[in-house]
Structure 1
Amino acid sequence: MKKDIHIPVVEDVYIAIVNEYNAIYKTQDWNAYIINNKAVDLELVLIVTSGYSKKKATSVFRKKLDKLPKQSYAKIELMQEELFALNNTFKVTFFEGNQMFDKTYLFRENTINLKALQSIPLMAVKGVLAK
């Protein structure tokens, strides 16, 4: 029965878009990160990203992390500024112990910008957190 299915709530796992200096190319880049602020490791982390609007859609990008240690973060991808005019989704699935968790994070169109920067958990940088 549907009422018997327990869907666990994802807590202390974040997606952030961070504006940071790239010392190699001497540019300011926007990078997407997944942050594990839990006291346990995450296993088999699958991330599927895409962007869309009423008239445009991006291709789907997939990334797999075998393990994301507790209290750590990992870079997902470089984000081109042209994508910020679209809604950007990050569908994250992972195992914590033997239980599977799933959450879709959304950056609404035009919400990623320098005016929206805030402190990011675990990282000594400023960025934009997904809703």
Structure 2
Amino acid sequence: MKKDIQIPKVEGVYIAIVNEYNDIYKTQDWNAYIINDKEVDLDMVIIVTSGYSKEKTTSIFRKKLDKLPKKSYAKIELMQEPLFALNNTFKVSFFEGNTMFDKTYLFRENTINVKAMQQLPLMETKGVLMK
């Protein structure tokens, strides 16, 4: 029966970690974003994040977006630099029409850094992108 379940491939939805200036606290912060580069809105977006290594595991963070409009992005969470030494996962589930999509994005330990930054789709900034 499992072989009959069709799981569509996720394309055009990305996770980005961006280093940006925080005007309120006058600090340079790292923030995680979800980017919808598709031509359709995403409904009921659920994002579950966590970090882990052999010795440590972070608590689980959940975020829900009722709608992520086409060609847009939304902030997920603030990320503190000590988390970059861990593997960071972002499990993303959403509906596109009546079809459910699901994908896990993995930022391996020490891959989030200034040297790994590149131009991001839709955002007028650079960051670490996971497709």
Considering the TM-score relative to the shorter chain, is it more than 0.5? yes
Matching of residue 28 in structure 1 with residue 32 in structure 2: no
Identity of aligned residues (%): 82
Paired letter, 1:123: M
What is the total number of aligned residue pairs between the two structures? 131
Aligned match of 2:54: 54
Aligned match of 1:66: 66
Superposed counterparts of 1:1-131, under 5 Å: 1-130=1-130
Q: Distance in 1 between matches of 2:15 and 2:120?
A: 10
Q: Distance in 1 between matches of 2:4 and 2:46?
A: 26
How far 1:105 sits from its partner (Å)? Answer: 0.2
Give structure 1 stretches of 5+ with no counterpart.
none
Q: Distance in 1 between matches of 2:15 and 2:117?
A: 14
Give structure 2 stretches of 5+ with no counterpart.
none
Q: CA RMSD of the aligned region, Å?
A: 0.8
Q: Distance in 2 between matches of 1:33 and 1:61?
A: 14
Q: Distance in 1 between matches of 2:92 and 2:37?
A: 15
Segments of 4+ moved more than 4 angstroms: none
How far 1:50 sits from its partner (Å)? Answer: 0.1
Alpha-carbon displacement from aligned partner over 1:21-69 (angstroms, at most 9, x marks no partner): 1111111100000000000000000000000000000000000000000
Alpha-carbon displacement from aligned partner over 1:73-130 (angstroms, at most 9, x marks no partner): 0000000000000000000000000000000000000000011110111000100012
SS state of the match for residue 63, structure 2?
Answer: strand
Q: Distance in 1 between matches of 2:99 and 2:85?
A: 35
